[in-house]
Amino acid sequence: MNSNHTDDLAELHAEVAAVARELLADSAPRWATIARAGWPGLEVSAAFDGADAGFAEVAVILTEIGRAAASGPYPAVAALGVGALNHVVPTPDRDRLLRETAAGAVVPIVALAGEGMGEKRFRIENSPRGPLLRGAAEFVLDVPDAGRLLVPAVDPAGEVVLVDLDPRARGLLVTERPVLDATRSFGDIVAEDVSPESLWHFEDGYRCDAVGRLRDRAAVAVACDSLGLSRAMLDATVAHVAVREQFGRAIGSFQAVKHACADMLVQVTVAGKLVDAAVRAVTASGADASTSASMAKSYACATAVDIAGKAMQLHGGMGYTWESGIHVYLKRAALNRSLFGSPAQHRARLARRYSVQAPRRRGA
């Protein structure tokens, strides 16, 4: 990639971020507004009425959603729904759902559990009635808003396939799971002998580790969200300490406050670099995409909790009030930290990736 192209992309992303920030500024936008903005179809091919952009542009929107602590199913649709549909073998049913998703006419939610990093919770079994889906998943992001449910499941041949279902299908139970972060919605899914409406195979490049790749996209999406909310907390804190006075001076002039804000800036900058690298790796489906995703997820999400905590502290007594709004970011950051793998789980994966086996002594 030459420098001119890189500059062009940076300029484009800055414009996309500015537009998204404006749309998200006033209040939580309705799904119809999101659809009119064209966000659900950003990563969808123009052949299906999408914008023919990529995950890098989706990541810009996800970061701004984190900055605004906005609610709604866009992160689940963009990171997982479109990601899954783009990588299954095309069929007329898949194409129709992809086109409807790009138009915002339907909200497809992938049934991935929000906790942990392993995932083979659903299976398809043959029966006299035909193939039947069985299994369960907890803490599925935005499943209460699902218009269609996409369930990764292991078929009788041992291959992971994608099952398309109506969330109200017979034998399928979706229950809402309340969480402390009021900006998010979660639910639990139980499938007992559910007949799949459609069953799609992943394309060759995705087939061997489809669930792992989807979880990497989910981890990077959450890292983007955490990066956005960290930037929001840094901006709000710097603005506050610049005007809040104590002993006749702005508290931002005190050395301890300066150092705290400088530490926050360093953390945000490092998180931004790691998230950018992870977005590029996931976009390119490189061999080390999982490594980059774990680096970004573990650092950005742990950092966001730290920064939101510092923001609350540096706002003084008002930081603890309901009116300050900082509690919204702190609760969202804490939930992000545990979604799709905790920092400890991702660091354990990194440790395995970089572990060096001690050489055996000859004859031992």
Where a domain ends, among 107, 127, 145?
Answer: 107
Question: 90 and 154: one domain?
Answer: no
Q: In this structure, what is the dihedral angle of CA atoms 226, 231, 233, 236, given to the nearest 10 degrees?
A: -160
User: Which pLDDT score, from 0 to 100, does residue 363 have?
Assistant: 46
Q: Is 364 within the bounds of a domain?
A: no
Q: Is 186 within the bounds of a domain?
A: yes
Question: 235 and 174: one domain?
Answer: no
Question: 288 and 219: one domain?
Answer: yes
In 3D space, the residue among 293, 279, 301, 349 whose CA is nearest the CA of residue 13 turns out to be 279
Question: 68 and 99: one domain?
Answer: yes
What is the domain count for the chain?
A: 3
In 3D space, the residue among 329, 328, 289 whose CA is nearest the CA of residue 306 turns out to be 329
Question: 75 and 148: one domain?
Answer: no
Q: Is 362 within the bounds of a domain?
A: no
Question: 118 and 69: one domain?
Answer: no
Q: Is 160 within the bounds of a domain?
A: yes
Q: Is 363 within the bounds of a domain?
A: no
Question: 193 and 214: one domain?
Answer: no
Where a domain ends, among 176, 201, 226?
Answer: 201
Q: What is the CATH number of the domain that holds 242?
A: 1.20.140.10
List the domain range (segments joined by +) for residue 220.
210-355
Question: 222 and 334: one domain?
Answer: yes
In one-letter notation, the amino acid at residue 143 is: V
User: Which pLDDT score, from 0 to 100, does residue 180 have?
Assistant: 94
Q: Is 324 within the bounds of a domain?
A: yes
User: Which pLDDT score, from 0 to 100, does residue 347 have?
Assistant: 95
pTM: 0.93
User: Which pLDDT score, from 0 to 100, does residue 2 have?
Assistant: 55
Question: 222 and 187: one domain?
Answer: no
Residues of the chain with pLDDT under 50: 358, 362-364
Question: 244 and 346: one domain?
Answer: yes
Structure-block tokens of residue 208: 């061997």
Q: CB neighbours of 144 closer than 8 A, spacing ≥ 6?
A: 174, 176, 185, 186, 187
- Helices assigned H by DSSP within 69-209: 74-76, 82-85, 92-103, 204-207
Q: What is the CATH number of the domain that holds 82?
A: 1.10.540
User: Which pLDDT score, from 0 to 100, does residue 3 have?
Assistant: 56
Q: In this structure, what is the dihedral angle of CA atoms 214, 220, 225, 231, given to the nearest 10 degrees?
A: -170
Question: 159 and 239: one domain?
Answer: no
- 215-236 residue pLDDT tens: 999 999 999 999 999 999 999 9
Q: What is the CA radius of gyration of the chain?
A: 22
User: Which pLDDT score, from 0 to 100, does residue 274 have?
Assistant: 98
Where a domain ends, among 201, 223, 243?
Answer: 201
Q: Is 92 within the bounds of a domain?
A: yes
Q: Is 360 within the bounds of a domain?
A: no
- Residue 200: beta bridge partners? 162
Question: 325 and 241: one domain?
Answer: yes
- The C-alpha atoms of residue 109 and residue 112 are separated, in whole angstroms, by 9
